[in-house]
Chain A
Amino acid sequence: MPNEFNIMPAMRVSATGLDAESRRMEVIANNIANANTTAAPGGNAYHRKQVIFAAKLASEMNKMGQERVAAGVEVKQVAEDTRPDKLVYRPGHPDADKDGNVRMPDINVLEEMVDMMGATRAYEANLAAIKTSRAMATQALGIGR
C-alpha cells in the first residue's frame, strides 16, 4: 500500500503542529517574562519576539493535477518586533540616560495573553487530529475480528 494512504503520516503532520505551537508558547512566555527587562544581552531593552510559521509541503505527491498536501508546519523564523522602546522617566535607575529616561520594552501583556490563547487553541486542534488519527488506525486494526 502506498505511503500516502497510510494513517501514520497524519499523526506525524499533527506532531509538527504541536511542536510549532509549543514553540510559539515558549516565545510568548519569554515576552511576558521580559516585559520589564531593560538590560537584555547586548545592553539594550528587550525586544518582543514573534514566531513566523511556514507550511512544509510534501514532495512525493506532486502528480499531475494534484495539489501538494501539507506535510506539516515549521517555525521559519523567530523575528524581532520592530516597534520602538518605551521611554520611562526613572532618574535613579542604573540604565537611565542623562535625562533620567529608561528604555523599557513596549510589551503589552494583554496582547501576549490573546496570542497565547490562540496558541493553546491551535495546540488543542492538533491534539484532536492526533486522537482521531489514532482512533482510525485502531479501527483498521479491528478488521476481520
Chain B
Amino acid sequence: MSDTIQILNKLMDSCALRQRVIAGNLANINTPGYTRREVEFQKVLSEAIRSGNDDKVAEAAPKVVLDQSGPYRRDGNNVSVQTEMEVMSDNSLLYNLATTAISRKYAGLHKAIGGK
C-alpha cells in the first residue's frame, strides 16, 4: 500500500519539477544561446522497478538534462513553443493522474479503517 503512495509521490515530485523546467524553457524562448532542458524520470523509475530492488526504487530521483536534439535557430536557441506546450499538457495530465490515484488510495484506506 505505502509503496504505491511512495511511487505516486515521486511521480508528483517529478511532474512539479518538469513544470518548473518547462516554465524556464518558455521564459527563455527568446534568449540567445539557450538550450532547452528536460526532466528524465520515467526511465529511471522503470529501471529501478524492473531491478526488483526496493532501495533503488526509493532512491530513484528525477534528473534534469539538456536536450540538444531539436533544430537550433540562428540565435543558438532550440526552444519551440509547440513542443513545450505539448510536454506541458502531457505533464499536467500525468500530475492529475498521480493526484487522483493518491486520493483513491487514501479513500480505500479510509474505508478499511471504517470497516465499511
B66 neighbours in A (Cβ, 8 Å): 67
A145-B28 Cα distance, complex, nearest whole Å: 37
Inter-chain contact A14/B99, CB cutoff 8 Å: no
Q: How large is the interface on A (under 10, 10 to 19, 20 to 34, 35 or more residues)?
A: 35 or more
Q: Are A70 and B63 in contact (CB under 8 A)?
A: no
Q: Are A4 and B27 interface neighbours, CB within 8 A?
A: no
Q: Give Cα A91–Cα B27 distance, bound, in whole angstroms.
A: 48
Give the nearest-CB partner of B20 in chain A.
Answer: A10
* Contact among B16, B21, B22, B65 for A6, CB-based, below 8 A: B16
Contact of A5 with B26 at beta-carbon distance under 8 Å, contacts A136-B95, A143-B102 already known: no
Residues of A within 8 A of B30 (CB): 21, 24, 53, 73, 118, 122
B78 within 8 A of A: no
Q: Which residues of B contact A21 (CB under 8 A)?
A: 30
Contact B19 A10 (CB under 8 A): yes
Task: Give the Cβ gap from B15 to chain A, nearest Cβ, in Å.
Answer: 7
Q: Which residues of B contact A122 (CB under 8 A)?
A: 26, 29-30, 81
Interface assignment of B96: CB less than 8 Å from any CB of chain A = yes
Q: Which of A36-44, A105-113, A127-135 contacts B (4 or more CB under 8 A)?
A: A127-135
- CB neighbours (8 Å) of A10 from chain B are 16, 19-20, 22-23
Q: Which residue of B lies closest to A61 (CB)?
A: B64
**Known interface pairs A133-B23, A136-B92. Does A70 touch B28 (Cβ–Cβ under 8 Å)?**
yes
Return the CB mask of B96-116 against A: 1 if under 8 Å, else 0. Answer: 100100110010000000000
Q: Judge whether A129 and B22 touch: CB under 8 Å.
A: yes
Known contacts A7-B19, A67-B37, A145-B103: does B32 contact A17 (CB below 8 Å)? no
Partner of B85, one of A4, A14, A17, A128: A128
Name the residue on A nearest B25 (C-beta).
Answer: A70
Q: Is the CB of A17 within 8 A of B64?
A: no
Chain B residue contacts of A72, Cβ below 8 A: 24, 27
Q: Which residues of B contact A6 (CB under 8 A)?
A: 16
Q: By the criterion CB–CB under 8 Å, are B27 and A70 in contact?
A: yes
Q: Is the pair B13, A5 in contact by a Cβ cutoff of 8 Å? A: yes
- Top 9 nearest A-B pairs (CB, nearest first) are A70-B24, A17-B27, A5-B13, A10-B20, A13-B23, A53-B31, A10-B23, A73-B27, A10-B19
